[in-house]
Amino acid sequence: MSDQSVADSNAGAASPYVLEIDRISKRFPGVQALTDVNLRLRPGSVHALVGENGAGKSTLMNIIAGMFPPSSGEIRLDGRPCAFPSPRAALDAGIAMIHQELNLVPYMTLAENIWIGREARNVLGLIDHGALRRRTQALFDRLGIGLNPEDQVRSLTIANQQLVEIAKAVSYDSRVLIMDEPTSAITENEVVLLFRIIRQLRDEDKAIVYISHKLSEVFTIADEISVFRDGHHVATDVVSAFTQQRLISLMVGRELTQLFPKGEPRIGEVALSVRDLALDRVFSGVSFDLHRGEILGIAGLIGAGRTNVAETLFGITPATAGEIRIGGKPVVIDSPGRAIEHDMALLTEDRKATGLYLMLSVLENMQIASIRNFNTAGFVRQGTLTALCQRMAVSLRVKTPSFDVAVQTLSGGNQQKVVLGRWLMTKAQILMLDEPTRGIDVGAKAEIHRLMSDLAGQGLAIIMISSELPEIIGMSDRIMVMHEGHVSGFLDRSEATQEKIMELAAR
């Protein structure tokens, strides 16, 4: 048989894969995002995709989902070459994607969001809201999601909005479902629910791509793992072939020996003292002391009030009761400006929504909190300020092609360093970090953790809020656990375990 006949025979044979990515490359102006990458997705399988920010994972998934075309290479569906010129074309072919950034309409109901563009209509051609509600309720019942289809999206927590996004993707009955960081904003309880949904879909013969920086989740849910690094595909194997250390080494191209580089603390005097702090109908009776050189972790389920406490301490939502002392002196903090005057800083949990000016440059984002300190007779000493920003960027190892590029073009880890650098330039002595490593890769996490440990060693007093229990345990000197607006207990580093934290969080 000729080589051509063999090729023709193989082309006609049934493929064991539902989707094949063959030598896909993608170049953007000035950036080679992907180079000759391969990926094979089996039906009835969960395929995890891991790699640092900028490795090319989301770029490849956006190509598969029809967001933009590849520069070269081939996509095959059921063994046949295909192309997806638009997201609608990909959906019509049976490929749905849950993006990391939520894409719901706040003032529409859950039912309207899920079926937008596919609404059931009555004989008059009008939207049949009763049918929408019934279809949505049936979908929620199937997935075990306990939400009301008639609620508006704006009334939901970020975690529940994520569940609606998942339900919306499932509603297309797609054969390939891509999940990009689906657990970045949900609690342990919702993760359990999500994994049950994923296993159910896998049993229905769906092919699922699972992108996550949380390696413990990858080892729990995946059947196969593919590793990307710097736009290249470097490895694929069954999950049992990997250890966490090998996976990290493949992702970063080097050994990462210490994810939680926590130094021996040198605890100093009390920097911040809080007594019976309250915010009406949100939290009450919150009391603690924070010492210089200490990292105080705040743990609890979403909705426990952790972020609200930090925002109240920073003056975003001023307290309705209680006392705050800084350096032993009572203070009133009724605005972020007043908090900054008292050498406080807050790195918010959603850097894109409340931490960064995405369209502005890296330089503008770094200098914005310090610019008033470099003002002489109404003129900004820009040269001095720029030099300080540059020194801070070098100190934090911010990777950027220049200070003039929009900050939105940087990876998540580098965006986080820009926000952190902004606050360190104010000479803040009390640093509150809300989910400091959310949505960033394992290499960047280790760098942020190293920075936290170094800053504590320099005498800064640090509050760290995190939903990741290994991070809370690995980086905290003490842990304050909250439940439904109250402090349910404290744990010293030496006694803290995930079980003890969850027991306090569920009280």
Question: Of the ranges 124-128, 380-384, 495-499, which is most confident?
Answer: 495-499
The reported pLDDT for the residue numbered 30 is 65
Q: Quick one: pLDDT at residue 222?
A: 96
> What pLDDT does 4 receive?
37
Provide, rounded to the nearest whole percent, the portion of the chain with pLDDT above 90.
50
Alpha-carbon distance 3 to 6, whole Å? 5
Distance separating alpha carbons of residues 311 and 344, to the nearest angstrom: 11
Given a cut of 50, whether residue 153 has pLDDT beyond it is yes
**String of DSSP letters for 207-266:** EEEEE-S-HHHHHHH-SEEEEEETTEEEEEEEGGG--HHHHHHHHHSS----SS-PPPP-
Residue type, 216: S
CATH 3.40.50.300 is right for the domain spanning 268-343+469-507: yes
Of 138 and 101, more confident: 138
Q: What is the pLDDT of residue 139?
A: 93
The kind and range of the H/E element at 360 are none
- Say yes or no to pLDDT of 150 above 50: yes
Question: What is the pLDDT at residue 306?
Answer: 93
Evaluate whether 348 touches 355 at the Cβ level (below 8 Å): yes
Say yes or no to pLDDT of 358 above 60.
yes
Q: How confident is the model at residue 135 (pLDDT cuts 50, 70, 90)?
A: very high
pLDDT at 71: 94
Among the ranges 25-29, 265-269, 354-358, which has the highest mean pLDDT value?
A: 265-269
Q: Can you tell me the distance from the alpha carbon of 205 to that of 264, in angstroms, rounded to the nearest whole number?
A: 50
Query: pLDDT at position 257, please?
Result: 54
